[in-house]
Structure 1
Amino acid sequence: MSGRRRPGQRYSAEDQALSSISREAESRAQALSANRAEARSYRMEALERQRKEMTDHDDHHSAGDSSTRSSYRSTLPPVSSTSSSISTRPRYSAYTSGFGSRKGSYDASADGEKDLRERLNEAQDKLKQAMLNNAQLDNEKAALKFELENIKDDMLETEEKHISLVKEHRKKNTEHELLKRDYEKSQRDVEAAKHMLEERDRLITEHNLVLVGEDANNEAEEEEDEASESREVPKAKAPLHLVTKEAADILKEAGSGSLDAKIKKLSEENQNLLDQIHRLTLDNQELKAQSTSSRSDGLDRTARLNGPDSAIVASAQREAQQKVNEMKNKLQKAEQEKSTLEAEKTRLEGQVKRLKTTSDKLEASEEELKVEKRKLQRELKEMQVKVEDLINNNNHLQKRLDKVKESKLGVMSASGKES
């Protein structure tokens, strides 16, 4: 009965204080029980002495009565002869009548003593029963006090658990508030990213630009993949690039495939055009040389002949000149197209690099925001579940504390009534 339940985790000062309090309470309980046992033994000894005294008194009283009766018998006169008996008959009859009255009074006193003894025995039995009841009540009172001490210990333990749970609940609430703030910050970042995307789309529309890439025609599919949160790591997507409508038409004419493949194909076509222009330039130079030589030959021939074939020579020269002019025009156009294509290529390459860098940054930030958002949502759900569990535990402990308080009040009221 001495090993009481104590809280599992307490500070050293509290442990020492509680242990000293428990030792003092146990010493007081032991002293009280010893005093009660001693008082009980004293009461039993006193009752035993009283019983012995009453028994001795009864024996002495009965012995006195018997001696009185014997002395009384010895004082009676002896019976004489028949002659004297006749003369003394009236006196004997008077004596016998007096003796009968004394005997009746003695019987009445004996009955009274017997009644008194019975009453005394009943009183002694009642006293013993009362003493037993009192001892039983003392034992019950001690047990109830011990139970009250245990209930107090349980109440202290419950209060400490309640305080620790309240502290933990506050800590979890603080963590929940921090997570909520982080979640709100992530929401703001997501909204800012959406606003940036909307601004990008607006600028694209204002400057007549077009998004090109492998996934340009599957925007709905991409949005669906972006909205899905079931996967931890999103699928990698091909980057999109901004180009003008003319460049988009050129890339569209280049066929299907990735943007790098289309640019490579256009570069090969440009290189082929450059080679063709180079060949045409060489052919033009050859034609120029041929036309110069043919013109000089024609002039010499005209000077030599100076006859009816001069018209034919002139027409041939005109045709050759027309061909030369046509080739010059073609060469100029090819050079212009070459310079235009080179400028467009340089511009497109720079724009592609810039847009690729921007798109990669935006996609990386967007993916990071998505991962962070999913992480925060999971943590928020976990914290909500933990908060609900803590609230349920708090309610359960509060109910237990109320029950313990009610039982404590009942025990205190019962002990007050008994005292």
Structure 2
Amino acid sequence: MIMVQEKVSELQDKFQRAMFMYSQLDNEKSALLYEIDLLKDDMEEKEQLLSQANRESRDLTSEVKLLKRTVDGLNAQHMALRAEIAQRDQIIHVSIGVLFFSRSTPLVFSQSTIALIEKAVPGSSSIDEKVKRLNKKMRQQVEEAEQSLYARRTARADYANSAHNGVLNEDLQRDAAKQLAEIKFKLQEAERENTNYQGVLRDKENALDEAKETNRHLQNRIEKLHAEYHFHFFLPALECYYYQSAFVDTPNIIFTFFLPALECHYYQSAFVDVACYRFLLI
């Protein structure tokens, strides 16, 4: 009987120890399940962040492509404007020549155009040099925009690699946003410069029209002066032959007799050379 009681007490002790171990294991199981839930929540949060980063990367890629197309369009427009200005300068120098205004140096710009150029490029250099400096500045801005786009593209590739590896770099995102803002600012500056450049082009066209109008008035005045000289200084004893030269359109007079005194005044204008003859009979 005593042995049975001892075995029962021994079994009770083992049962109590087993229950204690079971409670410990149950507590450990609960702790592990809680940690698993935390890890699942953390994984879901990181998956959401990764999806958001991928969406932002796609948006930035589309925006960079759009900005690159804008830069290419501005470059093409800039080259077209340069070619058009060069063509107009050639037409000005060939058809009209050098225009002289109030200054002794030759100019092909109006006063409003000169004011715009001096406002955009201050300094004491000539107008042609300022226009060249303005073109050089625009080219530098375009090159800087291209370099920024290249840097942005490289940073985007690094960002995509880090996202696939599960590493999110916030500094890279801030740097990308900063570079994007710089690109937008430079594009706005380039558009403003392009607008000023178009204004300069319009002023040059107005100057060209004014020069053509001035040339037309001068030619009409020269023709009237020729008609007046031929009418007032015609002499009965003067036989002259009027012929057209093969090189210029100025009428030439061949005198068939000698006068006692011949006074000739030669007038030179900025566009054509006119010879006016005044005869003094003694």
**Richer in strand (by share):** 2
Q: TM-score, normalised by structure 1?
A: 0.29
Q: Which has the higher contact order (CA 8 A, sep 6+)?
A: 1
**Richer in helix (by share):** 1
Q: Higher Cα Rg: structure 1 or 2?
A: 1
Q: TM-score, normalised by structure 2?
A: 0.41
